[in-house]
A and B are shown apart, each in its own frame.
Chain A
Amino acid sequence: MTKAVHRKALAGFGLAAIVATAVLVTVPSQAAGPRDQLREKFDKALKGKTVAWSPVWMGVLESEWTRVMKDRFDDYGIKLVTRDANMKSDIQLQTVSDYINEKPDVLVVQNPNVTLLAKELKRAMDAGIYVVQVNMASNTLSDAYVGVDAKDLGTKIAREVINQCGGGKGSGEIAILEGEATAAYSLDMKNGAMEVFKTDPSIKVVSSQPTSWDANKAGDITTTVLQQHPKLCGILSVWGPQTAGAAQAIKAANMGDKVKVFVASDGQPADCDLLEQGAFSANLSYRADVQGQTIADAVIALLQSGDKPGSKNVAYYTTPAWVKSKDDRMYCFSIPKGAK
């Protein structure tokens, strides 16, 4: 009896030990398995892949996108190739054609207008390359679009202009500083703004001139417009650096108290500086560093998707935020010290 009890007890212990060992061995491996597999799958999808990036030029905004993308891609073992087209359409077209021949896994492009790269982007997707477009969509839809909705930006900024200059709060006289006459980004923004302005009879657009993104030209136009329209209430402008020239012209004319400057810009640090100095009245800002993260996310999602390039079109629209005082500084990005 005692022996039997003893044997049973031993068997019980043995069973318990086996179960315990099994639990010890299997439970952790069951928990780690999927996680490890996830990382393995992630690494397999991403490591050694190449992303080819073609910006219109390497301005402050584009440098920040590039910095963030490179930072993330380096971490995942993705290679980033960058070629600056320096605002030259022919060079950018050539760059994108070369990229397609080099067969990267993903092509990221910033379109200068809606047509220039349209055919090449289609060719890229046909060749099995994922295409991500940044801040301005071309006539060819691609796997992903990351960026602002320029027309929506124009609508929002126009509503703010009406708030401060329309309906008896100001003279209602507005001047628009466009960017390039042919750039869809500034055209879309202007069209969005004009649609809103048309709904309010108290608003009168007295001038709408392209500045070629040039601060000096913006200053010249502003000087002339201020003379012709001394009751001017506001200037709506589509980019920070050109608007800085207009703001200086207003300052030189001693009209800083009368004329409000509304700008939509890419969140470069100088935009917030100028707002804090009182040169800008309101800045509808989007952060380039956040956009850079989103571009990287779009690339990472595509590489893991298993979809055929060109089979889906996903948009990641940027949400802009108002910078109206020092407290809104976080809506301008800051370039980390030591960043290249």
Chain B
Amino acid sequence: MTGISGARGPKLTQTTAVLAMCAVLIVVFSIFLKGFLTLGNLFALARNISILGILALGMAVVVIGRGLDLSQVASFAASTAIAIILMNSGYATPVALLIGFVMAIAIGILNGFLISVIEMPPLLTTLASSLAVLGIVRTTAVQHYVVYLSKGHDEFLRLGGNIWGGVPISILIFAATALVVHLFLSRTVIGRFVYAHGDNPDAARQTGLPTRPLTMIEYALCAAIGYVGGVVMVAQTALMHLQVAESTIIFDVIMVVVLGGVSLVGGRGNVMSVIAGTLLIGVLLNGMTIMDMDVQTQNIVKGIVLLIAILLDSRLHPRDEETSKQGD
């Protein structure tokens, strides 16, 4: 189990490779793109990557445990939409946010239950649960796809703003979440169990690890951290557009996770991997926006980067029967 170092065998880890790529890009953009290397732009970059980064932290917990959660975005979209509706109808902001939080965790536990106890495959289970969650919320509580936060929640909206001369609060939330997830994965017993679970689920079960509750904890954490990202998203836009659940954002999240070196094999990678992946995507997106690149070219670049990440993942963590990957 070499998850904390993120390396097995070769000295060059995927995380360091991605960080190196990122450094090269930053240098190239700084030379060729006017206005890239300014404090203001770096803050803008930080603001733009923080939600993706937070979501990727949650996903990393599940992927390290050799799972995959395609319902993360649907889960945060549905629970934040409910929280907004409660806030609009007069509930105190912390109470409304807490109810949304509990709902997100419940969705995560349900996913974990279906996967570990009923033994359904994670890919299909979470794909189906995302549709179910969205459908139920849409038919019962949310009349339209766009739920606006009504006037008078300035305190809450400040979460989406800046402090200290331009530092986006969202990046501080990302940093805090990263620290908590890092401490959880590296310093707690359950965190170590998650690595063991992902590294070899059968061995983990046979040595007496409670793999079923563990799976539920992994998925609950993924949903809970995703909810934090959702709350930041609401604070930044003052609305929740439920269609986000059907956008490609979930693939961006998985791309960030895999890119940084949290292998789909399970048991590998750490918070640093997520930060590296997020940073690379953030720098790329920022550069492409400054260049005013059209969306097709942006997609080509993103696709090539993802292919390189999967290639690296395959080279560094080859497949065999024991390490069959999610999505294989």
Which residues of A come within 8 Å of B, CB atoms? 57-60, 63, 86-87, 181, 206-210, 212-216, 219-221, 223-228, 241, 244-245, 248-249, 251-253, 270, 273, 277
**8 A Cβ contacts from B139-174 to A:** 143-146, 148, 151, 157, 160-162, 168
Given the contacts A181-B296, A270-B148, A245 and B243 also touching, CB distance less than 8 Å: no
How far is B247's CA from A270's CA once the two chains are assembled, in angstroms? 23
Question: Are B146 and A245 closer than 8 Å at their CB atoms?
Answer: no
Q: Does B289 contact A (CB under 8 A)?
A: yes
Contacting residue for B243 out of A87, A221, A227, A228, CB 8 A: A87
Q: Does B119 contact A (CB under 8 A)?
A: no
Q: Does B35 contact A (CB under 8 A)?
A: yes
Question: Are B290 and A216 closer than 8 Å at their CB atoms?
Answer: no
Question: Are A219 and B41 closer than 8 Å at their CB atoms?
Answer: no
Q: Does B322 contact A (CB under 8 A)?
A: no
Question: What distance in Å separates the Cβ of B33 from its nearest Cβ neighbour in chain A?
Answer: 9
Residues of chain B within 8 A of A251, CB atoms compared = 161
Question: What distance in Å separates the Cβ of A168 from its nearest Cβ neighbour in chain B?
Answer: 25
Question: Are B289 and A207 closer than 8 Å at their CB atoms?
Answer: yes
Q: Does B26 contact A (CB under 8 A)?
A: no
Query: Main SS of the interface on chain B?
Result: helix
Residues of chain B within 8 A of A225, CB atoms compared = 289
Question: Are B289 and A181 closer than 8 Å at their CB atoms?
Answer: no
Number of chain B interface residues as a range? 35 or more
Residues of chain A within 8 A of B148, CB atoms compared = 244, 270, 273
Question: Are B233 and A224 closer than 8 Å at their CB atoms?
Answer: no
For B41, the closest partner residue in chain A by CB is: A227
Q: Does B236 contact A (CB under 8 A)?
A: yes
How far is B119's CA from A222's CA once the two chains are assembled, in angstroms? 45
How far is B40's CA from A245's CA once the two chains are assembled, in angstroms? 19
Q: Does B241 contact A (CB under 8 A)?
A: yes
How far is B146's CA from A244's CA once the two chains are assembled, in angstroms? 11
Question: Are B292 and A208 closer than 8 Å at their CB atoms?
Answer: yes
* Extra pairs beyond A60-B145, A181-B294, A221-B289 (20, CB < 8 Å): A63-B143, A63-B144, A213-B241, A215-B237, A216-B236, A216-B237, A224-B44, A224-B45, A228-B35, A228-B41, A241-B239, A241-B241, A244-B237, A244-B238, A245-B239, A248-B238, A249-B236, A252-B236, A273-B148, A277-B151
Question: Are B241 and A215 closer than 8 Å at their CB atoms?
Answer: yes
Residues of chain B within 8 A of A244, CB atoms compared = 148, 237-239
How far is B238's CA from A241's CA once the two chains are assembled, in angstroms? 10
Residues of chain A within 8 A of B129, CB atoms compared = none
> B221-251, CB under 8 A of A: which get 1 and which 0?
0000000000001001111010110110000
Q: Does B47 contact A (CB under 8 A)?
A: yes
For B40, the closest partner residue in chain A by CB is: A227
Question: Are B41 and A252 closer than 8 Å at their CB atoms?
Answer: no
Given the contacts A228-B35, A241-B146, A216 and B244 also touching, CB distance less than 8 Å: yes
Given the contacts A87-B246, A216-B237, A248-B160, A60 and B146 also touching, CB distance less than 8 Å: yes
Given the contacts A63-B144, A221-B289, A227 and B44 also touching, CB distance less than 8 Å: yes
Residues of chain B within 8 A of A207, CB atoms compared = 289, 292
Question: Are A224 and B48 closer than 8 Å at their CB atoms?
Answer: yes
Residues of chain B within 8 A of A57, CB atoms compared = 145, 243
Residues of chain B within 8 A of A210, CB atoms compared = 295
Which residues of B come within 8 Å of A, CB atoms? 35, 38, 40-41, 43-45, 47-48, 51, 143-146, 148, 151, 157, 160-162, 168, 233, 236-239, 241, 243-244, 246-247, 285-286, 289-290, 292, 294-296
19 A-B pairs (CB sep. < 8 Å) = A57-B145, A60-B146, A86-B246, A87-B243, A207-B292, A208-B292, A214-B241, A214-B243, A214-B247, A216-B244, A220-B47, A224-B41, A225-B289, A227-B41, A227-B43, A244-B237, A248-B238, A251-B161, A270-B146
Residues of chain A within 8 A of B243, CB atoms compared = 57, 87, 213-214
Residues of chain B within 8 A of A209, CB atoms compared = 289, 292, 295
For B294, the closest partner residue in chain A by CB is: A181
Residues of chain A within 8 A of B237, CB atoms compared = 215-216, 219, 244-245, 248
Contacting residue for B162 out of A87, A215, A219, A252, CB 8 A: A252
Question: What distance in Å separates the Cβ of B160 from its nearest Cβ neighbour in chain A?
Answer: 6
How far is B45's CA from A63's CA once the two chains are assembled, in angstroms? 37
Residues of chain B within 8 A of A228, CB atoms compared = 35, 41, 290
Residues of chain A within 8 A of B43, CB atoms compared = 227
Residues of chain A within 8 A of B143, CB atoms compared = 63
10 shortest A-B CB distances, which residue pairs? A245-B237, A215-B237, A220-B48, A181-B295, A223-B44, A227-B40, A227-B44, A227-B41, A252-B161, A224-B289
For B240, the closest partner residue in chain A by CB is: A215
Question: What distance in Å separates the Cβ of B48 from its nearest Cβ neighbour in chain A?
Answer: 4
Question: Are A214 and B238 closer than 8 Å at their CB atoms?
Answer: no
For B289, the closest partner residue in chain A by CB is: A224
Contacting residue for B146 out of A59, A226, A273, CB 8 A: A59
Question: Are B144 and A60 closer than 8 Å at their CB atoms?
Answer: yes
